[in-house]
Amino acid sequence: MQTPVNTLKKALQAGQVQHGIWLTSGTGVLAELSGKAGFDWCLIDGEHGPNTVSDILPQLQALAISDTPAVVRIANAEAWMVKQVLDLGCQTVLVPMVDDAETADMMARAMRYPPDGNRGMGAALARATGFGSVADYPITANSEVCLLAQAESAQALDNIDDIAATDGVDGVFVGPADLSADMGYPGQPDHPEVEKAIDHLIARIVAAGKIAGIITFDDARFKEYAAKGVTFLGVGGDMMVLNKALNGLAAQVRS
């Protein structure tokens, strides 16, 4: 057995737009359903979804059935959280609230084994190695992990060049909701000043040669963001899609 190739990372680095969906339900059933729907990736949200490590594991297993690449967003920029999800077998990690290069570097080092980082040894006992089936995992894993740092504050806006230039940061994801709130426009990610900031962030990420990401629920903007250089493109959320479908069906039968 060999360390799995991170096909999502390869596609993103090749400049191929990869569309994905947020999973916040905390259930393996919806993860499996989403994985079979045809998305390029599915993200298990450990920041705003009810997803502990124990909840994340069955969702990773469910996504593996469909061969859909899994991404995990951890709850905070903490090295121990990175270590846990990597040992579970996740290869692509989204870290929220990365405001500066110092935090970006700390996360990049947490993603990788020495000498490139300080990831703790111990995966021989974990799902990441098939519970010990990949003997050379500590040697080969570094090239297959993918770190996406989330820029979602005015501070990150000021520091975007340093964040994007950090060794080991494979991409930067723009968080429109938190960015708009921190800029003084809560609930207004489409405010002209916020949109200007988003465009600036994307442009600087692309200029640095890194993967640019964002999420939007407006299907009219999918092609727009792709044209600006976004390749890691979130296009919806499981609970939002389910809620819309259920309410639509209920309204249909009432009428």
Quick check: 59 and 51 in contact, CB under 8 A? yes
Q: Could you write out the DSSP letters of every residue in 4-23?
A: PP-HHHHHHHTT--EEEEEE
Query: SS3 of 172, please?
Result: strand
The total of other beta-carbon atoms located within 10 Å of residue 168's CB is 19
Cα torsion 69, 163, 95, 102 to 10°: value is 140
Closest CA to 23 of 84, 67, 68, 65: 68
Return d(Cα 148, Cα 48) in angstroms, integer.
17
Note if 48 is an active site residue. yes
Quick check: 37 and 63 in contact, CB under 8 A? no
Return d(Cα 48, Cα 158) in angstroms, integer.
25
Catalytic residue of the set 19, 48, 191, 200: 48
Residues carrying an active site annotation: 48
